[in-house]
Amino acid sequence: MSETKIRSAHLNFYYGASQALHDINLEIPAREVTAFIGPSGCGKSTFLRTLNRMNDTILGTRVEGVIEIDRENIYAANTDVVALRQKVGMVFQKSNPFPKSIYENIAYGLRVNSLTKSKAEMDERVEMALRDAAIWEEVKDRLHSSALGLSGGQQQRLCIARALAIRPEVLLMDEPASALDPLATQKIEELILKLRGEYTIVIVTHNMQQATRVSAYTAFFLLGRLIEFAPTKRIFHEPDDQRTKDYVSGKFG
């Protein structure tokens, strides 16, 4: 396993009084694709959202334990959450472009973080992000029309481009293809494979084939606990835990 990018130690998470995550210990390798799998409600998305402190925006949530990114505890009192989210980008389950033009969607992150100095630089970064997300050719002639006029799959790739534009180191993806048709899904997966090696990617998926296709490592969650974490091949072919075996072989879902 390569160097560790994200380390979770004894992480507990609560929505009000109910505990959603129990003692999660996990080391996510840098510049690899790591998949989280597990049945609905197992805590995989909740865990993903602790990695950029997205759960902070939900009232009544509480975290115990430590999550380190590059050996720094992101739940330390002096953490700059804005800087953290700049470093840890996120793509959501349902594509959520802003009701603005395609160009402005990409430029948004650059603007709020004041990352560019000139219009030319902005244009360049926008184009680069769209190229990185493999959507440039489809939208280059209508950069200034509304992003909501794009198809679902295009919108999702736009959201990926938007996340890439501010050059994060980590990219969190919460079931990024679950609302898309097979062709659009394939495009997203190709994109993930293209980005692998440059970004540390963590993807939540309920599609096990997808996990085998895109990820190097897989974590299996069940009822708020991490059951097993290993190279993807191993999880799917010779898992240590009987529950993992039952899940990946389709005995329950």
In terms of CB distance, is 112 or 223 closer to other proteins?
112
Which of 61, 146, 178, 207 forms a contact with other proteins (CB under 8 A)?
146
Which of 2, 10, 16, 96 forms a contact with other proteins (CB under 8 A)?
96
Question: If DSSP states are collapsed to H, E and C, what string results for 79-131?
Answer: CCHHHHHHHEEEECCCCCCCCCEHHHHHHHHHHHCCCCCCHHHHHHHHHHHHH
Of 104-133, which residues contact other proteins (CB under 8 A)?
108-109, 111-113
Query: Does residue 114 come out as left (phi exceeding 0), alpha (psi in the -120 to 50 range) or beta?
Result: left
In terms of CB distance, is 161 or 226 closer to other proteins?
161
In terms of CB distance, is 48 or 227 closer to other proteins?
48
In terms of CB distance, is 104 or 246 closer to other proteins?
104
Question: If DSSP states are collapsed to H, E and C, what string results for 200-246?
Answer: EEEEECCCHHHHHHHCCEEEEEECCEEEEEEEHHHHHHCCCCHHHHH
Q: Of 40-48, 90-98, 119-127, 225-233, which segment contacts other proteins by CB under 8 A? A: 90-98
Q: How many residues are present in the chain? A: 253
Shortest Å, Cβ 62 to other proteins: 16
Copy the structure tokens of residue 52: 């950029």
DSSP-derived 3-state class of residue 17: coil
State yes or no: residue 176 binds other proteins (CB under 8 A).
no
Which of 98, 206, 234, 245 forms a contact with other proteins (CB under 8 A)?
98
State yes or no: residue 200 binds other proteins (CB under 8 A).
no
